[in-house]
Amino acid sequence: MISRRKFLSAGAGALGTALVIPPRRILAAGDKPFQIIEPKPTTAPLTGADKPPVPVWAYHGLVPGPEIRVRRGERVRVRLKNSLPQATSIHWHGIRIDNAMDGVSGLTQDAVPSGGTFDYSFIAPDAGTYWYHPHNKSWEQMARGLYGMLIVDEDTPPDVDRDLAFVADDWLIGKDGTIDEKSFGNLGAWSHGGRLGNWLTVNGLTEPDIPVRAGERIRLRLVNTANARIMAFNFDRLGAQVIALDGQAVAPSSLGPDGLTIAPAQRVDVIVDIDGNPGDTIPVWEVSTRQRLQAARFVLSKAPPLKKRQPEDVVVLAANKLLRAPEPNGAQHIELLMEGGAMGGLREGRIDGRVLSIEELIAKKLVWAFNGDVGRQIKPLATIERGRTAIINMVNKTAFPHAMHLHGHHFRVIERNGKAVWRAPWRDTELVARNEQVRIAFVADNPGKWLFHCHMLEHQAAGMVTWLVVT
Ligand SMILES: [Cu+2]
């Protein structure tokens, strides 16, 4: 196996040609009329300034796509203009959205054909860090570069000197320096840990320089846009405080020595105080594997340091008040048994009531099951009365971790491996380790048809997807 990112003789940083993260490209989508967002084939300098640009699919020709930014409670108006050779859609990940705008092809809308358009118009009710990506053949479309940030500003944003996105992706690059297309749909990847990449980018660049100034306080918004890789970051000698998870505020906590683990689709907001002298460089490390990869580096300008913050001067985000606490009394209990995959021993599975043998399932590339059902069924997993608390008990009987994502709601973990968990953070995507049991709870207060699936996109495509109805 080729080592991550180092598959060519040297990374761009080693050659002294690191690219600097450009100023963010913001689409102020709250304005009338609709802002057009156009996914299309293009190229991007993923692998470094000294390598040929890589053919990708990208929103507006940018990887990541333009950052969509609105105020809390504002309406987002975006017209998707599909210039891809495939049908697509846009899902607004983590937004407690109007169901018709959730962008799930085949469930909340038809996929938008090549050359077609679709108007998305919705209120962003919660402040925080969100993102957007296709929800049609997403295992291919996201791997080709289709994703962008959706940032909803607080009524009173916290006092920081800089607010930066940190969009981490891993790409599977072939020997010829282009995206390895032959691996799309590879059953080995689909039945194991998903399609893992060998090249790490941050904001679409290899080991980019992030220009900062000594003494600055930075709000860094990290998102893992990889198809399947769980990532982890640390900030070398810099202290960092986690202030939000999946867009929702948490009580500030310092980063431990293992760094920050981020499953696919999860977001983490951190406060980083740039401590150093003008001219210093400080790496950001990716530490999820035995390799310690430099993901990016802060480059301190020659400007004199800003006055340092006092240790007691901690950023505390205000909670999004609209989230309702789950009420366990009278809750609806839903079981979710996760089975299948390599070494999973799945012998058969159902598709809309019809039982198929594992051989028949493999022929359809369907190798994972929820409660014995393989892939999205005609019938939902459960129908929940609006306003009622739902509790889902996830039991992972597979040999792999899964990043479970619930659409349209945020939930709390209330139990892990039989032990009660108190005051867990709100999340929209939760990692369930192999052989782990996790119980989550949420108030089903958003009517509609909501997908519930593994965000390891190959697992989703190969069966790990179901849906809920809130009446
Ligand atoms: Cu999975």
Q: What pairing do the DSSP bridges indicate for beta strands 54-59 and 39-44? A: antiparallel
Instruction: Give the per-residue pLDDT at 382.
Output: 98
Ligand 1 center to residue 407 CA distance, Å? 16
Ligand 1 center to residue 174 CA distance, Å? 24
Ligand 1 center to residue 459 CA distance, Å? 5
Instruction: Give the per-residue pLDDT at 290.
Output: 84
Ligand 1 center to residue 400 CA distance, Å? 7
Ligand 1 center to residue 338 CA distance, Å? 9
Ligand 1 center to residue 131 CA distance, Å? 20
Ligand 1 center to residue 429 CA distance, Å? 12
Q: pLDDT-derived band of residue 106, with 50, 70 and 90 as boundaries?
A: very high
Amino acid at 302: K
Look up the CATH number of domain 12-300.
Answer: 2.60.40.420
Q: Give the whole-angstrom CA distance, residue 77 versus residue 75.
A: 6
Mean pLDDT of 272-297: 94
The highest-level CATH class for domain 332-470 is mainly beta
CA 372 to chain centre: 27
Ligand 1 center to residue 403 CA distance, Å? 6
Before 33, cis peptide (omega within 30)?
A: yes
Ligand 1 center to residue 381 CA distance, Å? 17
Instruction: Give the per-residue pLDDT at 233.
Output: 97
Residue among 412, 410, 406 nearest 451 (CA): 406
Ligand 1 center to residue 464 CA distance, Å? 7
Ligand 1 center to residue 189 CA distance, Å? 11
Ligand 1 center to residue 349 CA distance, Å? 17
Instruction: Give the per-residue pLDDT at 27.
Output: 76
Each domain of the chain, given as residue ranges in start order, spans: 12-300, 332-470
Are 12-300 and 332-470 in the same CATH fold? yes
Q: What is the mean pLDDT of the chain?
A: 93
Instruction: Give the per-residue pLDDT at 75.
Output: 93
Mean pLDDT of 8-19: 48
Cα angle 429, 95, 325; round to 5: 70
Would you say residue 7 has pLDDT above 60? Answer: no
pLDDT digits (tens, 9 = 90+) for 383-419: 999 999 999 999 999 999 999 999 999 999 999 999 9
Q: pLDDT-derived band of residue 377, with 50, 70 and 90 as boundaries?
A: very high
Q: pLDDT-derived band of residue 280, with 50, 70 and 90 as boundaries?
A: very high
CA 350 to chain centre: 29
Residue among 29, 84, 268 nearest 168 (CA): 268
Would you say residue 16 has pLDDT above 70? Answer: no
| Global pTM value | 0.95
Instruction: Give the per-residue pLDDT at 8.
Output: 37
**Cβ neighbour number for residue 346 with a 10 Å cutoff:** 22
Ligand 1 center to residue 380 CA distance, Å? 19
Would you say residue 308 has pLDDT above 90? Answer: no
Ligand 1 center to residue 397 CA distance, Å? 12
Instruction: Give the per-residue pLDDT at 10.
Output: 38
Ligand 1 center to residue 339 CA distance, Å? 10
Ligand 1 center to residue 458 CA distance, Å? 8
Would you say residue 332 has pLDDT above 80? Answer: yes
| Residue 346 CB contacts under 8 Å (≥ 6 apart), including other chains | 339, 340, 358, 361, 367, 368, 369
- Which of 31-45, 174-188, 353-367 is least confident? 31-45
Instruction: Give the per-residue pLDDT at 14.
Output: 44
pLDDT digits (tens, 9 = 90+) for 229-277: 999 999 999 989 999 999 999 999 998 777 899 999 999 999 999 999 9
Ligand 1 center to residue 370 CA distance, Å? 11
Instruction: Give the per-residue pLDDT at 319.
Output: 92
Instruction: Give the per-residue pLDDT at 1.
Output: 40
Instruction: Give the per-residue pLDDT at 152.
Output: 96
Would you say residue 209 has pLDDT above 80? Answer: yes
Pick the more confident residue, 2 or 85. Answer: 85
Instruction: Give the per-residue pLDDT at 17.
Output: 61
Q: Which residue has the tokens 């040297």?
A: 10
Residue 368 is encoded by which pair of tokens?
């994972």
Q: pLDDT-derived band of residue 3, with 50, 70 and 90 as boundaries?
A: low
Ligand 1 center to residue 62 CA distance, Å? 28
Instruction: Give the per-residue pLDDT at 34.
Output: 86
Query: What are 122's strand-pairing partners?
Result: 76
Q: Helix or strand or coil: residue 273?
A: strand
Mean pLDDT of 88-101: 98
Ligand 1 center to residue 8 CA distance, Å? 30
Ligand 1 center to residue 41 CA distance, Å? 28
Mean pLDDT of 268-293: 94
Instruction: Give the per-residue pLDDT at 6.
Output: 47
Ligand 1 center to residue 391 CA distance, Å? 20
Ligand 1 center to residue 213 CA distance, Å? 40
Would you say residue 278 has pLDDT above 70? Answer: yes
Q: pLDDT-derived band of residue 33, with 50, 70 and 90 as boundaries?
A: confident
Ligand 1 center to residue 456 CA distance, Å? 5
Mean pLDDT of 296-315: 90
* Enclosing H/E stretch for 139: helix 138-141
Would you say residue 36 has pLDDT above 50? Answer: yes
Ligand 1 center to residue 112 CA distance, Å? 26
Question: How much of the chain exceeds pLDDT 70, in percent?
Answer: 95
CA 221 to chain centre: 12
Mean pLDDT of 299-308: 93
Ligand 1 center to residue 324 CA distance, Å? 28
